[in-house]
A = this chain, B = another copy of it.
Amino acid sequence: MTDMQRITLARRPKGDPVPEDFSLKTGPVPEPGDGEIVIEVSHLSLDPYMRGRMDDVKSYAPSVGLGETMTGQGVGRVIASKAEGFAVGDLATGMTGWASHAIVKATEARVLPAEIPSSLFLGALGMPGFTAWTGLRKFGRPKAGETLVVAAATGPVGAMVGQLAKAAGLRTIAIAGGPEKCRIATETFGFDAALDHRAYEDASALRTALAEVAPDGVDIYWENVGGKVLEAVLPLMNVGGRIPVCGMISWYGGVEDADDRLPMLWRSVLVKRLHVSGFIIFDHWDEYPEFLAEVPTKVLSGEIKHLEDVAQGLHAMPTAFIAMLKGGNTGKQIVAL
C-alpha cells in the first residue's frame, strides 16, 4: 500500500486563512476496525462551513483541534472493509477529512451508485444541493410569481436554489462576484437577472440596482453571505417575506466593526437555528372570534389574571402615554373619560 497523506490544522487563522495555517502530513494507510471501512479518496469537497471549524469557538459542530486532520467530505473507493454492506471496490462517501485515505464508520458512510459521477455527491447531489432543496421548501416556502434573491449564485447551493425557485415559477435574481459569474448565472442557471456585487461600492448602490431588477420587491432572500448584500436586500423585502439563513461567508473571517451587533445576531440565528417571526396583529383579526370563544371566560373566572392602570380624563392621555413608554405604568394603561 502507498502512504496516506493528510492536511492538518497547524494553527488557528486570524481573519482570512493563509497557507501556513495548514500542514501536510504523511503516514501509513490505516487498517479498519470492526464496523469500519477504509476509503481511498478520489475527490474531496471544499465548503465554506470549514472556515468555522478552524476557530476555537462553540458552534453547532466541534472545531478541528490543532494538529488534527481538517474535516470534510470525500468520495472514493473502498479498499478495506470490516463492515456489512461495504465491499472492497465499492464507491462510497463519508467524512474522510482532507486526506488521501480515511477510516470511516460504516454507519456514517454511504455506498454510491456506479452510474453517477461520484463527485456529484459532493455538490449538486450532496450536502450543498440538499441544503438548497431542503431549506427552500421548508423555510423559503416559494410561491409562483414571487421574487427570490440569492448571493453566491453560481456556487452549488445558490445555483440549486435559483433553479428550484425558477422551476417553481419565481422570478430569480442572482448576486455574484464578477461579470463572468453573472453571465453563468443567467446563461447556465437561468436566473432572470444577475448583479455583480463588486460593481457597487456600498449596500445602498447595490440596493438601487436590485430594486430595478426586483420591481415587485423581494419575497425570499436566501442568506448565505451576510454583509453588504444583506443590508442591500433588507429594505426591499415584501411583507411576509422569508429569509432562510444558511450561511454568512462574508463574516467568516471576522467582522470589521466589533461593536456591530448584526453579525452577532445573525450568527445566533444560524448556529442556534432560530425562527424569528415578525408579526402584526392587524393581519390576524380573522382569528379574533376564536380568541373570544376561549379567553373571556377564563379572564372573568380569574383563571387568567389582568391588571389595569387607569388614568383619569382625556387631558391625561399625553402624560400617561409618555410615562408608559418609559415603563411608568403597571398593567394595561387605559384612560377613563
Contact indicator A334/B279 (Cβ below 8 Å): no
Distance, CA A180 to CA B269, complexed state (A): 34
A260-B260, A278-B274 are contacts. A334–B46 as well, Cβ < 8 Å? yes
Chain B CB within 8 A of A160 CB: yes
Q: Which A residues, 291 to 337, have Cβ-Cβ distances below 8 Å to chain B?
A: 291-292, 294-296, 299-300, 304-308, 310, 314-315, 317-322, 324-327, 329-337
Is the CB–CB distance between A48 and B324 below 8 Å? Answer: yes
Does A86 belong to the interface (CB within 8 Å)? Answer: no
Residues of B close to A209: CB separation below 8 A: none
Report yes or no: B324 in contact with A46, Cβ–Cβ below 8 A.
yes
> Is A129 interfacial (CB 8 A cutoff)?
yes
Identical copies of this chain, number: 2
Interface code A137-166, partner B: CB below 8 Å = 1, 0 otherwise? 011000000000000101110011001100
Q: Given contacts A272-B238, A279-B244, A334-B119, is CB(A304)–CB(B160) below 8 Å? A: yes
Any chain B CB within 8 A of the CB of A104? no
Within 8 A of B (CB), among A231-252: 231, 234-235, 237-246, 249, 252
Size bracket of the A interface: 35 or more
Q: Mark A179-217, 1 if CB is under 8 A from B, else 0.
A: 011001000111000000000000000000000000000
The answer to whether A245 touches B279 (Cβ under 8 A) is: yes
Which residues of chain A from 96 to 123 have any CB-CB distance to chain B below 8 Å in the complex? 98-100, 116, 119-120, 122-123
Query: In whole Å, how far is A211's beta carbon from the nearest beta carbon of chain B?
Result: 14
Q: Is B123's CB under 8 angstroms from A308's CB?
A: yes
Majority secondary structure, A binding face: mixed
7 interchain residue pairs of minimum CB distance: A123-B332, A124-B306, A156-B332, A139-B277, A269-B278, A177-B327, A276-B276
A–B complex contacts, Cβ < 8 Å, 10 sampled: A19-B322, A125-B292, A125-B299, A129-B299, A139-B275, A159-B307, A163-B305, A184-B330, A241-B273, A244-B277
Q: Which A residues contact B (CB, under 8 angstroms)? A: 5-7, 16-19, 21-22, 24, 41-48, 50-51, 60-61, 70, 76, 98-100, 116, 119-120, 122-125, 127-131, 133-135, 138-139, 152, 154-156, 159-160, 163-164, 177-178, 180-181, 184, 188-190, 231, 234-235, 237-246, 249, 252-253, 257, 259-262, 264-265, 268-284, 287-288, 291-292, 294-296, 299-300, 304-308, 310, 314-315, 317-322, 324-327, 329-337
